[in-house]
Amino acid sequence: MTVSPSRLAYLHHGTRSPEQAAALEWARDVLPAVDAVPLVSVADGSADLARYDVCWWHADSDPSSALADGTSGLAAAFADYLDGGGGLLLTLRAVEAVEPLGIDRIGPDAVGVAHPQSTSGFLVHPLYEDHPAFAGFDDRRIRTLGPGHASPHARYEALLPADGHVLAGGFTDEHDRPDRSTVVWWPREQGGAVLGVGASLSFADRVIAPYGMAGASVVEHALAALAAPEPTAGMRVPVERGYRDVEHLRAMRRAQADAPNKPTYHLTAPANWLNDPNGLVHWNGRYHLFYQYNPGGAYHGSIHWGHATSADLVTWRDEPVALSPDPDGPDRDGCWSGCTVVADGEPILLYTGGRGRDQLPCRATTDDVDLRTWRKDPANPVIAETPTDPPLLETDDWATEFRDHCVWEADGTWYHLVGSGVAGVGGTVLLYESTDPELRDWEYRGPVLTGDGGHGVVWECPELLRFNEWDLLHVSNGDHVDYFVGHLDTDTPRFEVVDSGRLDHGDFYAPQSTEAPDGRVLTWGWLPEERGAPEQWDAGWSGAMSLPREVWVDHDGRLHQRPAEELAALRGAHESLSGPLDESWTDLDLSGQALELDLTVALDDADGVELGVLEAADGEGRAVVRWEDRELRIDRAAASEGPVSSVEPQWLHLPADGTLTLRVFVDHSVVEVFAGDGACLTSRVYPGEARDGVSIRALGGRATVDLDAWRVASTWE
Ligand code: FRU
């Protein structure tokens, strides 16, 4: 293969290690002109980098001694060189130099030597698989190191680079390690770029085919790309801008517009990982939905706050990433869930900062009317210690399980709920109080409600909503969302439970609500995936939001939920079906993977009714929504293509009744069902691209149906 760099500077410091010597020898074999350039001569300005179109620093041990001999000179020389369009390749522990050299504010946090038993290498991000460094591979799992070789590394694990794009995670002992960000691309505004490959390379061992050869191929292609004037021109998702930039986010969404299984009118992240809705607020004429977002890939890690907004709940647009972990802050390892509160006319965020084994409440404010930029409080965390009474749960991960925030004001006092667990007892919701309009000073009051273990050992994302004479408290218990209707007495403090149930009987978690301008309470929940981590990584996206649900409690204390009425504006092509059904399937004359189906069913002498959605042309492989024996069930065993982690049916009980009204929202991998006026059942299924049919039949007799169906348009601007 022809390699384009005409002149490579192979950087080194002091005596070359056997690995560095082998890399230099390899470079001299494959490239036309290679100079060994001492870093000290770069630092003191005696080496003229402008003579080279690529510089490569390959370090299999701690690079700090090299840096100690002139960091500022090196930083200045590299900045000049890169601004002039040069390319810099940093491999193995040389990636540690990105922070001292000013290439990134955040350096790799996982540095050392690993000894993988089996093969290791790179797990390529699906949106960046066309990066030139990976040319020639058609597998996203690139094995570059054979079994048993020491692997020096400098990669990102708890952290992400602030400005670089993660092109690949890790692959070790035949397992995906998406949480090991190993290959990072730093575009430079003035042209030029830096590529870091922080693991799984060995030139000394490259004779051990095929692994070492694969690693050498990545380096060879990377050097060629870095020498090119526009190294990444032509990539499907440009990587010339930072990963928080809205144009980059929108480019990722466009690239995934037709991604199989990705919902189009249920909110998703542009790509990568999404979990809980956060900070919901209607502000300055728009709904703001923030969400737990990992820009590093479709796995839970290094959580930022993503942001989407809408004026009408119908059309949404992506906004820049709103909150990022601060390497020096109490949120270093993640900006976890929280809420927006408007206090004295000013929006304030309270969210959970994670660092090491601590999770503590943090605060951020803004004067940006679009809520795009936030100032974190320098005094964070606002609550520095977790309560000791009752004894709260400690786990392997956390000194105290203590997170997520719900804040409201009543009669001049601010109340603040935090989710937790009482050791040996069960999930709990803790109450704080404040009269500080800035929401900085909080006084601990105690738990308002504690479960009995049967409801989960930790309660996450507690939320209190008030409806006339009733309070509704819901908590997410690691599996599902329990709600309690009753009364909160903030003096005792205690939540008196009158009734309880589940908000949704399927895949629905960590919901949060906000008030619409007309007073309706709208709730969104996270719809977690039901397929494995490798499938999520390969899809390039994970997680969706439920539809916005209008939630209320009536005077009798009964909970009701229905889809926000604005969603009707997304309806397109329409078909209806009315009349008797027998036991053979009747096909609907409308197909699609984004559909709304509204139906009323009367059982007549039938035992039940089955509605099939997402079905293949031959009628096989459908997801079935079945109403029978006072039960509404979604049977999804045959509905998915590819491996899924759960095909168990999901169901809810309904009161006995001869008629039932259902609203069924099908959106690629989401089937969200509203039954009657209160019960919800949301399921994830993975139909792939082809399955889109709808049909219906009665079971054991005849039934009558009245069905309206619409195609539903995408919600993205
Ligand atoms: C719920 C949750 C929260 C936490 C967040 C982290 O899904 O675990 O308790 O704040 O997600 O992403």
Pocket test for ligand 1, best of 179, 273, 276 (most atoms within 8 A of CB): 276
Same domain, 533 and 593: no
What are the angstrom distances between the C-alpha of 100 and each of 79, 181, 565, 581, 598? 12, 19, 54, 72, 60
Q: How much distance in Å is there from the Cα of 362 to the middle of ligand 1?
A: 15
Q: How much distance in Å is there from the Cα of 336 to the middle of ligand 1?
A: 6
CATH of the domain at 697: 2.60.120.560
How, if at all, do strands 358-365 and 346-355 pair?
antiparallel
Greatest C-alpha distance within the chain = 93
Which residue bears the tokens 């009543």? 410
Closest ligand 1 atom number to CA of residue 359: 10
Same domain, 211 and 356: no
- Determine the pLDDT at residue 1: 40
Secondary structure (DSSP) of 132-172: GGGTT---SEEEEE-TT--EEEEEBSS---SS-EEEEEEEE
Catalytic residues: 276
* 203 assigned to some structural domain: yes
Q: How much distance in Å is there from the Cα of 460 to the middle of ligand 1?
A: 7
- Determine the pLDDT at residue 706: 98
Q: Which two tokens stand for residue 63?
A: 């690079």
Please report, as a single letter, which amino acid is at residue 122: F
* 245 assigned to some structural domain: no
**Domain closes at, from 227, 261, 281:** 227
CATH of the domain at 159: 3.40.50.880
Domain that holds residue 184: 8-227
Which bin fits 83, alpha (ψ -120 to 50), beta or left (φ > 0)? alpha
Pocket test for ligand 1, best of 300, 304, 337, 428 (most atoms within 8 A of CB): 337
Same domain, 593 and 531: no
Q: Is the peptide bond before 528 cis (omega within 30 degrees of 0)?
A: no
Sequence-distant (≥ 6) Cβ neighbours of residue 315 within 8 angstroms: 715, 716, 717
* 615 assigned to some structural domain: yes
Q: Other C-beta atoms within 10 Å of 2: how many?
A: 6
Q: How much distance in Å is there from the Cα of 337 to the middle of ligand 1?
A: 6
Q: Which helix (H) or strand (E) holds 626?
A: strand 623-628
DSSP 274: E
Closest ligand 1 atom number to CA of residue 338: 10
Q: How much distance in Å is there from the Cα of 647 to the middle of ligand 1?
A: 24
Same domain, 550 and 572: no
Q: Other C-beta atoms within 10 Å of 69: how many?
A: 15
- Determine the pLDDT at residue 645: 81
3-state secondary structure 363-405: EEECCCCCCCCCEECCCCCCCCCCCCCCCECCCCCCCCCEEEE
**Domain closes at, from 203, 227, 251:** 227
Same domain, 126 and 22: yes
- Determine the pLDDT at residue 2: 42
* 242 assigned to some structural domain: no
CATH of the domain at 468: 2.115.10.20
Pocket test for ligand 1, best of 179, 272, 417, 460 (most atoms within 8 A of CB): 460
Q: How much distance in Å is there from the Cα of 266 to the middle of ligand 1?
A: 20
Distance CA 90, CA 202 (A): 14
Which residue bears the tokens 């191929």? 217
Same domain, 570 and 546: no
**Domain closes at, from 522, 555, 588:** 555
Which residue minimizes the CA distance to atom 8 of ligand 1?
460
| Ligand 1, pocket residues at CB < 6 Å | 275-276, 292, 303, 336-337, 352, 403-404, 460-461, 476, 509-510
- Determine the pLDDT at residue 657: 77
Q: How much distance in Å is there from the Cα of 142 to the middle of ligand 1?
A: 32
Which residue minimizes the CA distance to atom 1 of ligand 1?
510
Q: Report the predicted TM-score, pTM, of the whole model to 2 decimal places.
A: 0.97
List, run by run, the mean pLDDT of 10-residue segments along the chain (717 residues). Answer: 73 95 95 96 95 97 90 94 96 97 96 90 97 96 88 96 97 94 94 94 79 91 94 93 92 97 98 98 98 98 98 98 97 98 96 98 98 98 98 97 98 97 98 97 98 92 97 97 98 98 97 98 98 97 98 97 98 98 97 98 96 91 94 92 85 88 98 94 95 97 98 97
* 248 assigned to some structural domain: no
Same domain, 543 and 618: no
Sequence-distant (≥ 6) Cβ neighbours of residue 518 within 8 angstroms: none
Same domain, 486 and 464: yes
Closest ligand 1 atom number to CA of residue 509: 7
Same domain, 446 and 313: yes
Q: Which helix (H) or strand (E) holds 507?
A: none
* 215 assigned to some structural domain: yes
Which residue minimizes the CA distance to atom 12 of ligand 1?
336
* 232 assigned to some structural domain: no
Strands in 311-373 per DSSP E: 316-323, 334-343, 346-355, 358-365
Same domain, 36 and 155: yes
Count of domains in the chain? 3
Closest ligand 1 atom number to CA of residue 300: 12
Distance CA 594, CA 250 (A): 21
Which residue minimizes the CA distance to atom 9 of ligand 1?
460
* 305 assigned to some structural domain: yes
Same domain, 34 and 53: yes
Closest ligand 1 atom number to CA of residue 303: 12
Closest ligand 1 atom number to CA of residue 352: 10
Same domain, 216 and 279: no
